[in-house]
Every structure is written in C-alpha cells, then in structure tokens.
Amino acid sequence: MRQSNIGWLFLAPATLILFVVGFVPFIYILYVGFFDWNTNAVDPTLRWAGLQNYRSLVFDTTFLNSLARTLVFAFFVVVSELLLGYVLARALMADRLWGRQFFRTIHTLPIVVAPIAVGATWRLLCVPGFGIVPYYLKLWFGIDYNISTNAYHAFSTAIIMDLWHWTPFVTLSLMAGLTALPKEPLEQAQIDGGNKLQIFWYVIVPMLKPVLLTTVFIRLMDALRSVDEIWMLTKGGPAEATRFIGLHIWINVFPKTDYGYGAAMSLLTLYVTIVLSWLLFVAMTGRKGGAQ
Amino acid sequence: MRRSGITSFVLWVCLTILTLLPVWWMLVVSMRPRVKLYSKSFLIDDLYWDNFLAVLNSSTFLQYLWNSLIVATSNAALVCALGLLAAFGLSRYKISGGDNVFFWLITNRMAPPAVFLLPLFLLFTKWFVFGDFMLFDTKIGLILLYCVFNLPFAIWLLKGMLDGIPLELDEAARVDGATTGQVLSHVILPLARPGLAVTFILTWIFAWNEYLFAATLTSSAGARTVTTALAEYVSVTGTNWGEMAAMAFLTTLPALVVLGFVQKHIVTGLTFGALKG
C-alpha cells in the first residue's frame, strides 16, 4: 500500500460521474421534498411547504400499503431463494453428475433475460384465457387461477416469477462460495464426529458468511426495487395487489406531476431501503462472533 | 453415492424443464399464426416466421434495437475503463477515507431506480441543459445514467480481482523502474483481462436489460431502447400475442447468445463478486 493522494486521481473520474448521476439527484429530491411543486397546477412554481409532504405521507395508506407489500414480497423472495439456492447449489455440486456443465448453463439462463422480457413471457404463460398455466390448472386440478381478478394469485405469481428469475443467481454465488471453502475444517469436523446439521451450522455457515451476506444483500436490494417484471405481468393489479413501491412511485408521480410529494415519497423509500440493508448487515456480521 | 447421483440428476432434469418452460412457451407462441394462437399444445407445429418478420420490418423497432446496442456497448466500455482506474486506486493506494468512499460508491447500486427517476427526470429536463442540448431523450444521457448501477458493480468486481493480484508483482515492476502508468498497463491490465471481459459482458447485459430509466428519460425514437419497445408494444396492441412473443424473444436473444459463449466466466464473475464482498 502506498500512502499517497495519487490514489485519488484514479478514483476521481468514477467518483465524479457517480456524484453527478447519483449524489446530485439525491440532494435534489431532498430539496424538492420540502416544496409544494406541481407543474400542471394553477401555480406551477415551487412553494415552500416545510414538512407538509412528509406529514401527508404518514397518512397516505396507499403508499404505506404498497411499502408493506414490498417488504412482504422481498422477505418471501429472499428467504425462499436462499433456501432453494443452497439446496440446488449442493445438488449441482454432487460428484460425478452427468452433464453438469449443461445444467449449469441452462440454470444461468434466467439471470441474463431482461426483466421486461421475463414479465412479458410470464404474461404469456399466465394471462387468463390465453396462457397455459390457467388452462392446465383448470384442466388437471380444477383450480380457477386468474391473475387479473384474484389478488392472491397475482401476488404469488409475482413471487414465483421472481424465484424463476433470481434463484439461479443465488445458486451460482453459493456454489462459488462452497467451492472456495477450505477442505480441512470440514474433514476435521467429520473426524470429531459432528453430524450433518452441526457441520452445516457451525462450520459451513460461518465460513460461508461473507458470501451469504453479499448474496442476501444483493437480492434484497433487487427485490425491494423490482418494477419491470410486475409492470409487464399485472400492471400492479388487480386493484393494487401487486403494486410494489417502485411501481407506485412510477405510476403516481409522473402522470400527476406532483413533484414535491413524489420527492418525499422517493426519499422515504430510499430511507427504508438503507435502514433495512444496514439492519441486515449488523445482524449478519454481529452473529459471527457467537458462532465461532 | 450412486443413488444420490441419480436423485440429483433427476432433480436437475425437472429443474431444467421448469427453467426452460417459460422461454420455450415464448418461442412456441412466437411461431404461431393468429388462427392457431389459442392452441394449448406445447409443440411448435410448423416454422412460421411472419411474427418475426413483422417485428423486424418495423423501422421503429430496428431503430430501438440500434439505440440499445449503442447505449449498452458505450456504457459497458465506459464503466470498465473508469471501474478499472477506480479499483486500481482503491486496491493499491491507502487513500484517507478510502473505505468510506468505496462504501459510498457501492451504495449507488443499491439505490432503487424508481427513487431516482423523479430527480433525474427533473435534472435532465431542467438543469442539465446546455443551449439547445439537453440530456433528456439522448443516448448520451442514458449512457451516463447507467453508470449509477453499472459503475459500482464494476468497481466492486474489479477491486476484488485486483486485490487478488499479488502486490509483489507491482513492487517488482517498480523496482525495475516502471512508472505507475506502466504498472497499470503492463502488470495489472494483462492479469485483469479475464476479469475485465466478465465485467464488460455483465454490465453490457445490465445496460441492455434496463427499462425504467429508458422509459422515463427518453421520449423519441432517437434514444428509446429495445426494452421500451417491448413495453410500448404490449400496451398498444394488447392481444397480438404472436408478435409480442417474437419481440420478447428478440429482446432476449443477444443476452442468450452472450450466455452461450461466456457462461463459465459469468460464474467466475459472480464468484469474485461474492467472495470479495
């Protein structure tokens, strides 16, 4: 390591760009959030509103419901993907699995498909009257599956779509993490007579912690902000059953041009995201000392 | 051992079918004429290309495709260059507050795009205006903008890779009289090349796949991307499923081609990202 400010020269270009497209917008909504500003209103100028936008936000049940819905969605998605991804990672790593490379490639496929195309595809699968999913569910199980009228069906389809799209990412990173684990502690634990569960919990999990943390982190961020797929699948419906927070901001702010309120909404969403990630970070790193 | 091998094989066959089903159905629908659209068979009855031809004959769609290509490629190149420099700075120099800067850089990727849509829309239409030129509705605007999520990702991946290149190599080169620029171009660059390729491809795919920014911050055929074409198409035509499926397939195709070539490296890329978290 060289003690020198030359390092800053290398960082400068990236920092500058992210300052302009990342930090300036942040400061800007912070500012706009304190104003009453609607370009299509009688008075299209900025008028000081103090904390009024935030005060209204606290009583805005549509916003709060959509936020809560997003958290539920993210929780289900991240937990199931982690469990599923771990099982699949272990299965894929089984020795002497015929066609391993082929399976891996196929499994990587959903990651690279554009979310908007994922939404379009699942719409083709699930849309009532056309898709094969409602048709065969009715034919084989007698279930009336309809994502455009049944809120529960729409919500669970959104979750399953996300599982299809992102479990492979979890599988691949866990697989990478598992492959890189040193063999000695595992063998030592086996010699010491640890059972599978003990080895998993006391040896594998602590060693895998950095990988787990990163994976959950990335997945949580993405789950909290998923918009494209849902937009294509259900347009946030039926009613507001799948209107997650990003979608809510997007379809509310721009047609209404209510910028001050939109800014407050955006900022609060950002705040929740940051707090959640921070809690996750503390929870996962804090437990590290106890397990070892 | 043998039995568990068979179990996992069967598991994988089932999983592969589940993974492929949506994509397969998209392909099936895209090859169906209007009269057969409501058939529930899983098979492609005959090779019917008219849906693809209809999509590809639309000059707007071709223009959108071209825009996407330019935006994704330029953004990936920009991000790789700047990401490598930043990662070099972070990995090789003790910068005061370096950890904080790194953390801040990374948090940009965490930002929900929907949160940034509004300020960016306002900035692009009202503030970043230079004479007749404004960033709103330009490819340059999108190229810069996609740095928000791609640049942190690139820095993250590349820093992990550079940290893996032993410092002794740098020191040895410096002892031999190499300047910092030469260390970067003759020691780091050749060793980081596979990592750079992975970074380029992944960021290219992220840029190609992006929808929300493109939909909000562009308005004309000069800058709209292929993902917005797909979304527009769905809301305009409603039930022309065949052409919609064809368009979705064409949107996905480049990513699929890339996947075939670099699947192993994608795993490597994700490995670095995960292990160096």
Q: Which has the higher per-residue pLDDT, A182 or A163?
A: A163
Residues B233-263 have pLDDT tens digits of: 876 666 688 888 888 998 888 888 877 666 6
What sign results for the dihedral spanned by CA atoms B2, B8, B14, B16? negative
Q: Confidence class of residue A288 from pLDDT cuts 50, 70 and 90?
A: very low
For B11, name the nearest residue in chain A, comparing CA atoms only.
A91
List of chain A residues whose C-beta atoms are within 8 Å of the C-beta of residue B20: 106, 109
Q: Is A196 on the interface with B (CB under 8 A)?
A: no
Per-residue pLDDT for B6 more than 80?
no
Helix (H) or strand (E) holding A47, with range, is strand A47-48
Q: Report d(CA A233, CA A116) in Å as an integer.
A: 9
Q: Report d(CA B75, CA B199) in Å as an integer.
A: 12
Q: What is the CA radius of gyration of chain B?
A: 23
Residues A223-265 have pLDDT tens digits of: 888 888 898 888 887 888 888 888 888 888 887 778 888 888 8
Q: Report d(CA B210, CA B195) in Å as an integer.
A: 23
Mean pLDDT to the nearest integer, A268-274: 86
Q: Is A215 on the interface with B (CB under 8 A)?
A: yes
φ, ψ of residue B35 to 5 degrees: the values are: -70, -25
Determine what percent of chain A is predicted with pLDDT higher than 90. Answer: 14
Give chain A's count of helices (H) and strands (E): 15, 3
* CATH placement of domain A61-291: 1.10.3720.10
CB contact under 8 A, B16 and A97: no
Mean pLDDT to the nearest integer, A201-205: 83
Farthest CA pair distance, chain B: 75
Per-residue pLDDT for B53 more than 60?
yes
Q: Is A261 on the interface with B (CB under 8 A)?
A: no
DSSP state of B134: E
Q: Report d(CA A269, CA A275) in Å as an integer.
A: 10
Q: What residue ranges do the domains of chain A occupy?
A: 61-291
A-facing residues of B in 116-145 (CB < 8 A) are 116-123, 144-145
Q: Confidence class of residue B78 from pLDDT cuts 50, 70 and 90?
A: very high
Mean pLDDT to the nearest integer, A143-163: 89
Q: Confidence class of residue A291 from pLDDT cuts 50, 70 and 90?
A: very low
pLDDT number for residue A77: 95
Contacts of residue A183, defined as CB under 8 A and 6 or more positions apart, other chains included, come to none
Q: Report d(CA A246, CA A269) in Å as an integer.
A: 8
Joined tokens for residue A161: 């779509």
Q: Report d(CA A66, CA A81) in Å as an integer.
A: 22
Mean pLDDT to the nearest integer, B37-66: 82
pLDDT number for residue B274: 45
- Bridge partners (DSSP) of residue B93 are A2
> C-alpha dihedral over A94, A95, A100, A103, to 10 degrees?
-10
Q: CA A107 → CA A103, A122, A171, B252, distances in Å?
A: 6, 17, 9, 15
Per-residue pLDDT for B70 more than 90?
yes
Q: Confidence class of residue A292 from pLDDT cuts 50, 70 and 90?
A: very low
- Bridge partners (DSSP) of residue B130 are B133
Helix (H) or strand (E) holding B94, with range, is strand B93-94
Domains assigned to chain B = 1-48 (no CATH), 49-275 (1.10.3720.10)
Q: Is B178 on the interface with A (CB under 8 A)?
A: no
Which of A124, A163, A209 to mutate: most B Cβ within 10 Å? A124
Mean pLDDT across chain A: 83
Contacts of residue A62, defined as CB under 8 A and 6 or more positions apart, other chains included, come to A240, A248
pLDDT number for residue B267: 55
pLDDT number for residue B220: 83
Joined tokens for residue B277: 């978290």
Q: Confidence class of residue A161 from pLDDT cuts 50, 70 and 90?
A: very high
Residues B131-141 have pLDDT tens digits of: 777 888 888 88
Q: Is A32 on the interface with B (CB under 8 A)?
A: yes
A-facing residues of B in 46-65 (CB < 8 A) are none
ipTM value: 0.84
What one-character-per-residue DSSP string does A80-120 give? HHHHHHHHHHHHHT-TT-TTHHHHHHHHHHHHHS-HHHHHH
Mean pLDDT across chain B: 82
pLDDT number for residue A124: 86
pLDDT number for residue B74: 95
Residues B94-103 have pLDDT tens digits of: 877 777 888 7
Q: CA B219 → CA A149, A196, B124, distances in Å?
A: 32, 57, 12
Per-residue pLDDT for A10 more than 90?
no
Beta carbons within 10 angstroms of residue B16's beta carbon? 17
Q: Confidence class of residue A75 from pLDDT cuts 50, 70 and 90?
A: very high
CB A220 within 8 A of CB A74: yes
